Structure 1
Amino acid sequence: MMLPGARRRVRTTDSKERLFEAAMELLGSRSPESVSVDEIAAAAGVSKGTVYYNFGSKDELVSQLLSYGAQKLMGELARVASAEDPYLALRQMLEFAMDFVASYPAFAHLWMQEQLDADTANAFAGTPLNTQVTGLIIEVLERLVVLAPEQKLSVATSIFGAALFTARMRASGRTDLDREQTVRAVLLTVDGLRATRPPASN
């Protein structure tokens, strides 16, 4: 039973998908301040009233869409992480991350900006998206090489940070590296681990 005054949230994947696609398209070339709820709703084919009823404000809408984007990213990363070959799994995770950021550069920009604007110095490490992605990377690394417990999080965070930063640089046209060169550059960390650490015994 819903409590009095509580909002019914948009539950249909189709509605959130359309809002996400519309918002990311509009925010790809403009700041959040310059994009109105009317524009997002119209581009998504959803009424402005429905958006406000379900989300309350533009800030909440953007926040929820960032969460939705994070779920999209994590869902596919989790799928490719299950590849039998852990090195191939890491490569495919990087490739998908590059493609995701290329498709939704506004998502990466807004998410990274949110971390920079956070009050705490360790905000990046403590966000749900970072925790989930680094946890997934650690799971795959543990199938590849033997790492000391204290090394796992720092290595996974370094891989995630490098992938996110280089993908964002590519999406913004600030590097001439193509997708394969970028993936290979990030994989150099993994190659170094394979050369210096014992292989995992699976």
Structure 2
Amino acid sequence: MSPRTQATKQKLFDATLRLAGAKGMVGLTVDEIAASAGVAKGTVYYNFGSKDGLVDALLRYGVDLLATRLHSADEVEDLVDECLGFFADYPAFAQLLVSELWRTPGQWHGTLTLLRDDIISIIKQHVQRLADADRLPSGVQVSTASAALFGTLLVVALDWQVFQPQRTRAEVRESVMMLVRGLGPNS
């Protein structure tokens, strides 16, 4: 992909997130996205085929960015910090992700299922280490704990950004880590 094409797509992603954060995806038009990005309406269709194609690509792009950050984490605390940092950097993406993940059946359900599975698999590696160290309560499945941690991080990050912006990322991370540490008998 040429640098110019990538720059155009980035402008469209940024505009879509800005608008989605301000008014939500429902009712958001290609005209509004193009105008906000400073491009012609045809540019959206040329690059993505449709608004749905744009949102699908945006979801994939955002989850790829999140996955890259999570892969850099060595410990659960690093994973929590990276996830919170990502959602602090991209709060509108967090809003979009939450609204689309729990809208059933959503327009992008297939894409989100694959993307969710990607993120959960990264988290699962860390949670498996906790399980291997006997830090998960008896009977708690690693897959359930992994999904719970991701859901917790997503909702906590949104709550932090919307209702408690005065809190620092370190304070929020420590609150989540208190929950994680409290999971098992060896906490």
Q: CA distance change for structure 1 residues 31 and 192 in 2, over 3 Å: closer, same or farther?
A: closer
CA distance 1:194–1:149, shift in 2 (3 Å): closer
Q: Are the aligned partners of 2:21 and 2:92 in contact in 1 as well (CA < 8 Å)?
A: yes
1:105-120 alignment runs, 5 A limit? 105-119=91-105
Asked if 2 retains the 8 angstrom alpha-carbon contact of 1:101 and 1:107, the reply is yes
1:83-122 to 2 correspondence within 5 Å? 83=74, 86=75, 90-119=76-105
Gaps of 5+ in 2: none
User: Could you tell me how far 1:110 is from its partner in structure 2?
Assistant: 1.8
What TM-score do the two structures reach when normalised by structure 2?
Answer: 0.77
Q: Once the two structures are aligned, what percentage of the paired residues are identical?
A: 35
User: For residues 191 and 62 of structure 1, what CA distance do their matches in structure 2 show?
Assistant: 36
Q: CA deviation at 1:145?
A: 4.6
**Alpha-carbon distance, 1:43 to partner:** 3.5
The answer for the alignment partner of 1:21 in structure 2 is 14
Counterpart Cα distance in 2 of 1:144 and 1:136: 14
Q: How many angstroms apart in 1 are the aligned matches of 2:128 and 2:140?
A: 13
Corresponding residue of 1:182: 172
User: Which residue of the partner structure matches residue 172 of structure 1?
Assistant: 162
Local SS of the residue matching 1:29:
helix
1:142 maps to which residue? 128
Q: Secondary structure at the match of 1:65?
A: helix
Task: Report 1:17-166 matches (<5 A).
Answer: 17-78=10-71, 80-81=72-73, 83=74, 86=75, 90-119=76-105, 127-146=113-132, 151-166=141-156
Q: Displacement of 1:160 after TM fit?
A: 0.9
In the alignment, the residues of structure 1 paired with residue 130 and residue 81 of structure 2 have an alpha-carbon distance, to the nearest angstrom, of: 18
Pairs aligned (count) = 177
Check the 8 A contact 1:159/1:189 in 2, yes or no.
no
Kept in 2, the 8 Å contact 1:21–1:44? The answer is: yes
Q: Is the 8 A contact 2:131 2:142 kept in 1?
A: no
Extract unaligned runs of 5+ from structure 1. Answer: 1-10, 198-202
Q: CA deviation at 1:30?
A: 1.6
Asked whether the 8 Å contact 1:98–1:167 carries over to 2, the reply is yes
TM-score (norm 1): 0.72
| Superposition deviation, residue 168 in structure 1 | 0.9
